[in-house]
Structure 1
Amino acid sequence: MSNNIHCYQDLINLFNRCFTETFNTRLIKGDDEPVYLPADDIRSYHAIFFAHGYYSSALHEISHWLIAGSERRKLEDFGYWYVPDGRTAEQQQIFEQVEVKPQAIEWILSMAAGYRFFVSADNLNGEATDASRFKQSVYQQVIEYSLQGLPERAEMLRAALSHLYQTSNTINIERFDITSI
């Protein structure tokens, strides 16, 4: 898979075409830290800010939005607990539990875009942990989504990415290789 065809502006345009009108939500290139901010007195729309124009950051933040219910979408960063890089093993385990579904969706979206996916434990300066169990959980969630289907908004974006990048319009589990993530 080549990443040289993946421009974050294409992803912004695609996401905004799919969701700005129906969900009043926009994808926006941000600076350092990604964040989801619900509409407020300053901004009349909900905003998903991704880091530094990184395509993978955009896919990851979108994935969180795609599984957040309507009440969570009213909260900054969907109301999730977050301890930054430098987590203890116990904190990392909690982080990984929250990240399984979004990272499974991110992997599926990445495949639809023909883009390389890497599972992210996001804890480079924390206690060393074995990521194999986390990777297996993400893979198992991909299998579950392939059998049961994606949430409606996730499927809508997956199909749009597949159309844009001319990739397979189905989630073919045989294309997902746990050793590659």
Structure 2
Amino acid sequence: MNHSPNDLIMLFNDLFREAYRTELVKGTDEPEYVPASGPNRPAQVVFAHGYYASALHEISHWCIAGEHRRTLHDYGYWYCPEGRTPQQQQAFEQVEVKPQAIEWLFSLASGFRFHISVDNLSGGGAANEERFRRNVRAQVSEFLERGLPTRAQAFFDALATFYGTGEILRERWHDDARRIAPLYSESGHLQEN
């Protein structure tokens, strides 16, 4: 299956450019969110280096940002680059659960392989990678049971339609869940919190 970021740009912009005055844009460096700067200047969700996975991740952040947050550069969130202290990494992992869960669902809907990210390669790595993986998995399960936020659901549905994955989503979810964050019954050994 071909995964072109241009398809994501088309789908996102078709859904959200007019209704939310927001467009998805390929960036050359770090991802960022740039709020609208005037009546003819829409907000921009900028993803890194034209990477498909980066686009899915940045769209995930946008889909859960509230109306006020969408008026602020990078949604007004603190961001500390790689090389975080254990405390900074723990805070990062707490705020990344929902965006990574949504990104995982977007990946499933598009038939794209999802990789969980602790985004701290030059630091000490994850604060607790197993717990983070289980928390993201639990959030995906909750979204599947209760539904996604409105914009995330619209994009998820558009991806599933575009890539024709609707019939196999549940099966792929179970396979992916075992690969990314196996539970005791799936892995054969106990994982502690």
The two structures have a TM-score, normalised by structure 1, of 0.93
Consecutive unaligned residues of structure 1, counting only runs of 5 or more, are none
| CA apart distance, 1:179 | 2.5
Tell whether the 8 Å contact from 1:146 to 1:171 is kept in structure 2 after alignment: no
Aligned match for 2:106, one of 109, 118, 129:
109
**Distance in 2, Cα, partners of 1:26 & 1:169:** 29
Structure 1 segments, 4+ long, off by >2 Å, are: 169-176, 178-181
Alignment partner, residue 34 of structure 1: 31
**Distance in 2, Cα, partners of 1:43 & 1:104:** 33
**Distance in 1, Cα, partners of 2:175 & 2:98:** 18
Task: Name which of structure 1's ranges 42-51 and 72-81 shifts more when overlaid on structure 2.
Answer: 42-51
Q: Root-mean-square deviation (CA), in Å?
A: 1.7
Alignment partner, residue 60 of structure 1: 57
1:106-150 Cα shifts (integer Å, max 9, x gaps): 000000000000011000011243311111100000011011100
Tell whether the 8 Å contact from 2:118 to 2:125 is kept in structure 1 after alignment: no
- Aligned length, in residue pairs: 178
Alignment partner, residue 174 of structure 2: 174
Alignment partner, residue 70 of structure 2: 73
The two structures have a TM-score, normalised by structure 2, of 0.87
**Distance in 2, Cα, partners of 1:79 & 1:26:** 19
Q: Alignment identity in percent?
A: 51
**Structure 2 vs 1, CA of residues 42 and 86 (structure 1 numbering), >3 Å: closer, same or farther?**
farther
**Distance in 2, Cα, partners of 1:179 & 1:132:** 12
Aligned match for 1:137, one of 135, 138, 141:
135
Tell whether the 8 Å contact from 1:136 to 1:178 is kept in structure 2 after alignment: no
Tell whether the 8 Å contact from 2:60 to 2:99 is kept in structure 1 after alignment: yes
Structure with bigger helix share is 2
